C-alpha cells in the first residue's frame, strides 16, 4: 500500500491516489487533492457534489452514476464544468472515496 503526505497527514492511498481509509479524509485534504486535480478552489457548488457523493456512498455502498448525479444533485453539464476531464473520477478522489468501477 502506498502512502502520501498532504497537509501534514500521512494518507493510505491506492496506486492511483485514491484514499483507502475514508477516516483520514477532511476538508483540508479535499482542497489539496482538488489542487492536484487542477481545481484551484472548491466552491459551494463543488462541496454540494462532494457531500452528495459521500452521503450516497454511505447509504448505498457504491458511488452514484453520472445519471444519478444529474437527477439528484447537479445537471451533467455543470458536473463536467466543476470537475473537468473525468468528473466522476476527480470528484470521487477529492471526496475521499474509491475510484468508480465504471472508470478505467
Give me the active site residues, please.
Answer: 103
Total Cβ atoms within 10 A of residue 20:
14
Instruction: Report the C-alpha gap between 59 and 76 in whole angstroms.
Output: 22
Grid cell of 60 as nine digits: 448505498
Grid cell of 54 as nine digits: 459521500
Instruction: Report the C-alpha gap between 96 and 53 in whole angstroms.
Output: 10
Amino acid at each position: 500500500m502506498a502512502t502520501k503526505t498532504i497537509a501534514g497527514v500521512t494518507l493510505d492511498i491506492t496506486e492511483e491516489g485514491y484514499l483507502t481509509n475514508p477516516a483520514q479524509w477532511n476538508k483540508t485534504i479535499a482542497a489539496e487533492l482538488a489542487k492536484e486535480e487542477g481545481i484551484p478552489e472548491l466552491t459551494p457548488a463543488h462541496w454540494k457534489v462532494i457531500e452528495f457523493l459521500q452521503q450516497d456512498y454511505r447509504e448505498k455502498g457504491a458511488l452514484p452514476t453520472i445519471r444519478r448525479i444529474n437527477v439528484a444533485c447537479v445537471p451533467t453539464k455543470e458536473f463536467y464544468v466543476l470537475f473537468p476531464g473525468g468528473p466522476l473520477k476527480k470528484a470521487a478522489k477529492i471526496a475521499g472515496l474509491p475510484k468508480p468501477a465504471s472508470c478505467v
